[in-house]
Amino acid sequence: MVKALLLVGLISLSTYSHAETLSASAAGPLQSTIKADSLGNNKFAEDSNITDIKLRADSGSLSKYSMKFSLSFSGPPVGDLNNPMQPNPDGSPGTFETSLGGSLSARYRVSSSNAVSFGTGVSALTPFQGVKRYDIKNPFMSYDMSTRIFESQVRNVLGATIVTNPDWRAMGETLGLGLDNYWVYNLGSSKWAVEWDTSVAYYFYERGPNKKSKTEMKAGLYGVSFYPQLKYILSDKFYAYTSLNISFINPRCSEDMTVLWNRTLGQRVGLGYSLARNIYFAPYLNFYPKDFNLDATTVNFTTTFSML
């Protein structure tokens, strides 16, 4: 599986290089850095290939050196706002308490479309019922690339995470490798756009699963998720969207690497708003179409912003 991930990464990098050549021939070569700011921090020219407000904000500041923050809220069910837990219809292992958290990373921009990041995650569990636990967790590094392939805007992120989250460490997990891919395609001159996101992750463990623990046996060795999305663009800074979460895992209880369990289909309905180029805010409701009810519909938001 690791070899497969590396192969996918190399294919993505190769596709990226080919696509950059195509876009450069159509739009001219990308500019290099412009004048340094008052702190002596060089800034790259905007990558005109990326216009989607979320992809643009996720790509981070145009400065050579910057800081990037993400903040997310995983809230309670709409039908029970005092509930400290989020729904877990599959009985999956992990942390399902309501939480307020995110990540903080330092970024080095290699070009207007490529950047390297180093950071860590932070979270507070059950923030409105009395904080159960604060976590500074899972240091990571990533390399992200943005480009345009024909009429599609594309972003690829290769990353590695050292697992320190106590819930996953208790199951023996030590390291995660991942590849995330985002495609956005605007439907002609209409206000509609479609997006297809894919996430592939492989996890390393320091020991085999405890066969007496249902939680450890349900944990995944690797997982694949797809997020098809439909957007209606209200303005150049604002859109409404809905997306599906189609996820599969290879459980540790199986010795067959080809076995995949499907997770319960999830859906989001929300808004995306760009306060500025580097600031993106997206509130949304998450629910399960198969068994829709307010006790399984949660209030959430994500936001991304960069400094320098």
Q: What percent of the chain stands above pLDDT 90?
A: 73
pLDDT for 33 equals 55
pLDDT of 100 over the 50 cut: yes
pLDDT of 133 over the 80 cut: yes
pLDDT of 183 over the 60 cut: yes
Name which of 12-21, 30-39, 214-223 the model is least confident about. 12-21
How does the average pLDDT of the chain come out, rounded?
Answer: 88
pLDDT for 134 equals 87
What whole-number distance in Å separates Cα of residue 241 and Cα of residue 272?
8
Phi, psi of 112 (to 5 degrees): -65, -15
Most confident region among 29-38, 162-171, 295-304 by mean pLDDT: 295-304
Where does the pLDDT of residue 35 fall: very low under 50, low under 70, confident under 90, or very high at 90 and above?
Answer: low
User: Do the beta carbons of residue 202 and residue 5 sit within 8 Å?
Assistant: yes
pLDDT for 214 equals 86
User: Do the beta carbons of residue 248 and residue 224 sit within 8 Å?
Assistant: yes
Mean pLDDT, rounded, for 45-67: 92
Residue 189 half-sphere exposure toward CB, CA atoms < 13 A: 0
Q: Which residue has the higher pLDDT, 285 or 94?
A: 285
Range of the domain at 20: 2-307
Where does the pLDDT of residue 38 fall: very low under 50, low under 70, confident under 90, or very high at 90 and above?
Answer: low
pLDDT of 171 over the 70 cut: yes
Specify the 3-state DSSP secondary structure of 294. Answer: helix
pLDDT of 57 over the 50 cut: yes
- CA dihedral 291→292→295→296, nearest 10 degrees, is 70
CATH number, residue 220: 2.40.160.40
pLDDT of 36 over the 80 cut: no
Q: Which residue has the higher pLDDT, 283 or 35?
A: 283
| Two structure tokens written together for 126 | 């059950």
Mean pLDDT, rounded, for 210-236: 94
Domains of the chain: total: 1
Mean pLDDT, rounded, for 69-82: 94
Q: What percent of the chain stands above pLDDT 70?
A: 87
